Amino acid sequence: MNHFGYKGGVLSAEDVGLPALAARVGTPFYCYSRATLERHYKVFAGALPKESLVAFSVKANGNLAVLKTLALLGAGADVVSGGELAKALAAGIPAERIVFSGVGKTKEEMHQALTAGIYQFNVESEPELLALDEVARELNKRAPITLRINPDVDARTHAKITTGTAETKFGIPFARAREAYARAASLHNVEIVGIDVHIGSQLTELAPFEAAFEKVAALAKTLRADGHSITRLDLGGGLGVPYENNNMPPPDPAAYGKMVARATDQLGCRLIFEPGRLIAANAGVLVAKVLYVKEGEAKNFLILDAGMNDLIRPAMYDAHHEIVPVKEPVPGAERVVYDVVGPVCETSDLFAAGRALPELKSGDLVAILSTGAYGATMASSYNARPPAPEVLVSAAEWAIVRPRLRHDDLIGQDRLPDWLG
C-alpha cells in the first residue's frame, strides 16, 4: 500500500496534488510520501522477532529527510561509504544502530566509523580484516565484526543485483568460513560478534532466503563449537516490491518474518536486517512533463523532460516502472502505444518501450511510479542536466528536501588551471 492516488481528478501524494507541486517546484522532481515510508517501516519491523535491528539501506535513498523520518521510528542504517555514514549521523541515527557494509572500505572510512562508535563492521574479505585490525590498533580500539559469508545461493533475481552466488565480488566463500573466523580470532583488535549474509536484491520468493538462512544457522552452530562468540546474525535485505500492476506480489513481511523465526529461533542471536527498496521504493514517484509527442514511421515517442540521468534503472537493469498520467483519465479512455523516452543523448534513455497509455499531449504531466529507491541516489548530471530535486509530503504539508541545482552550480564545481588563462 502507498499514499499516492487520484483525488479530485489529479494524482496526489497524501493530501497534496502533484500538479500544484509541479507548478511550484518545476519538473522533473521526485516526490516522497512520509506516511508511506512510515507504514512500510512499521509493517516490516513489526513482522520481525523482538529486539531485531532494522538498519535502513542508505544506498536506496540517502535524503536526510527520508533518513530522519525513519530515525524517528527507531531505524538504524546500513552504510557502504564514509559519505553514507556521515549522512546517517547527520540525520540523527545513533552510531550504535549503524552497520558498515561494502567490499571496498578504505582505512580512512574505517577510522571514521571506529571514531564514531558504530555497531559493527560487516567484513567482506581477509585483506579487509587485516586492514581493520591495523586501524583499530592505531586507535587503541577493538572493532566489532561479522564476516560476510557467501552461501552460494541463487537469489533468482536480476544478474546485476545478485550478490550471494560464488561468482560475485561479495563476501567470503562458505568453504573458507571457518578458516576466516580462525584468522579473525587471532587478531587482537577485532571482536567477533556474529555472521553476515546478503544474497541479493528484489527477491520475489522466500525459498532462496530460507536456503541461505538455514546454511548460516548451521554455520553459527559450527563456529560456536569452534569457540567463537556468535551473538548476532545480519541477514541483509533484498525482499522485493511489486513494480508491475499485473505481476504476482512478492511475499509479505509477515511470511518473511515467520520464515526467519523458523530458521533462527534456536540460536538466541540478535537479528539485523538491511531493507532499502522495501521501505522506500513505493514511497516515491518521479513527476515529469511531456515535452513532445513524436510520430515515427513505426512508433510513437513520448519525450519527457526527465532523463536517464534522473532515473537510470530502466537503462541499467531493463527495470519496469509503471507510468501514469497525473490527470486522471476518464474510464475507458483510448490508449496509445508509446516508447517513453527522455532528452538525454543516448538511445538507452528509455523509460518504457511499447507501453500502452491514455493519449497524452505536450505539457501533460506523468508520474513514474516506485522510484523512491535507487532513483535519486543513482542520479547524475550527465549531459550537464541538473538532477531532479526532491520533495517530501506529510499530509497536506510539503517541503523541498533537496533543491534543484542551477547551471551555475554545475559550472562552479569545475576549476580552470591558471595556465589556461
31 in active site: no
Neighbour-count burial of 176, counting CB atoms closer than 10 A to its CB (0-12 exposed, 13-18 middle, 19+ buried)? middle
Pair 103, 61: CB distance under 8 Å: no
By CB atoms closer than 10 A (0-12, 13-18, 19+), residue 366 is buried
User: φ, ψ for residue 111 (rounded to 5)?
Assistant: -60, -45
Report the run of H or E that residue 259 belongs to, with start and end.
Answer: helix 253-264
Q: Residues 107, 85: contact at Cβ < 8 Å? A: no
Question: For the chain, what is the radius of gyration of the CA atoms?
Answer: 23
A 10 A CB-CB count for 320 gives 15
- What sign results for the dihedral spanned by CA atoms 289, 290, 292, 296? positive
Q: How many CA atoms lie within 13 A of 192 on its CB side?
A: 21
DSSP class of residue 350 equals E
Distance of CA 28 to the CA centre of its chain: 21
For residue 307, give the C-alpha cell.
Answer: 532523463
> What DSSP designation does 403 have?
P
All residues at 6 or more sequence positions from 273 whose CB lies less than 8 Å from its CB, including other chains: 44, 48, 52, 53, 54, 55, 234, 235, 236, 237
Catalytic residue among 1, 345, 396, 411: 345
Q: Which residues contact 148 (CB under 8 A, 6 or more apart)?
A: 101, 122, 123, 124, 170, 171, 172, 196, 197, 198
Q: Which three cell numbers stand for residue 21?
A: 507541486
Cα 340 from Cα 415, distance rounded (Å): 37
- Residue 374: CA count within 13 A, CB half-sphere: 18
Residue 382 contacts residue 306 (beta carbons within 8 Å): no
CA distance 368 to 381: 19
DSSP bridge partners of 312: none
Return the active site residues: 345
